[in-house]
Amino acid sequence: MAVTPDVPTGAPVAIPPAVVVEDREREGRFRRLLPEGNPLLNALYMLLLIGLSIIFIYPFLWMVSASLKPREEVFDNRLIPRHWQSSNYLDVFRGVENISVAAPFGRWFFNSMWIGCAAALSVTVSSALVAFAFAYFRFPLRNLLFGCVLATMMLPGAVTMIPVYLIWNHFHLTGTQYPLWATNLFGSAFYIFLLRQFFLGIPRELFEAARMDGDNYWTMFWRIAVPLAKPALIVTAIFEFKASWTDLIRPLIYLRDDSQFTVPRGLYSLLGVLGPSGGGHGDYQVIIAALVIATVPMIIIFFLGQRYFVEGIATSGRKG
């Protein structure tokens, strides 16, 4: 007969570690089988998410479907075309004979691409330089000057449209593509604010250590600030490329020659030529096919840069 040793009442009993680990694993497996939170709320959340996704995706699906239909069936609201006509995409690029415009869509696509890249690169570099100066240097009236920069965001674009046009006209550059991107060489108030907040999150000790090692201000900016601010710089470039790619107002104001048109300006001219108001037969399937082609670069850029959006805006710039 085994003898049980006397244990004082209320004294803690040691539990073998193996038993504790086994109980925790069993509890973890049980919790994974249960839904997190209220199941009814989770179901409502999923239904809301699916519904909003359908609302946002439906216009694009309709546009793709309409681009594959003949002229008579473009607006029948069927997602699956009754008759397929993939030649609409070829008609976009065939030029004068088919779509009755002086410049083909391929030329407009190239113009939008290089103007968007130039605008994104110029505004990213210039805004980063100004933002780094506001974040690092300590000089009199710094906050006042930064406030003046932010105050320019309060001015609507329509207020400065005429003065800016007069400036470009004074330099005889109206009718060229320079006004569509060269203004970005002077930075943008929104991007300066975004990048300055990111640069302020970088520990100042990194710059002080670089100064002790003999770095100048340019090398500190290029070797320390730029690598640590990479997500914010990429977000800035993507935002500006998208703004340039979809801009219609400035091309309408400055561009005169069909060969200089961007995609939005070219689509506007297509609408005028192919629409009934311009003497056309309402070949909207060609215009919609061009819209689908113009949307593809934005989708690709979003998927390539989506992981930088949250990191570039939500983080403070501190690394590791």
Residue 36's pLDDT is what? 59
Question: Mean pLDDT, the chain, as a whole number?
Answer: 82
User: Strand, helix or coil at 313?
Assistant: helix
**66 neighbors 292 (Cβ within 8 angstroms):** no
Give the chain's end-to-end CA distance (angstroms, integer).
62
DSSP 221: I
pTM of the complete model: 0.78
The encoded tokens of residue 246 equal: 């979809």
Counting as low any pLDDT under 70, the low residues of the chain are 1-37, 95-103, 275-281, 310-320
pLDDT of residue 38: 73
In angstroms, the CA 273 to CA 267 distance is 10
**Residue 4, pLDDT score:** 46
Helix axes 189-200, 230-245, angle to 10 degrees: 170
DSSP 3-state of 193: helix
Name which of 92, 77, 118, 94 is nearest 241 in CA terms. Answer: 118
Token representation of residue 100: 């009755």
Q: How many CA atoms lie within 13 A of 57 on its CB side?
A: 7
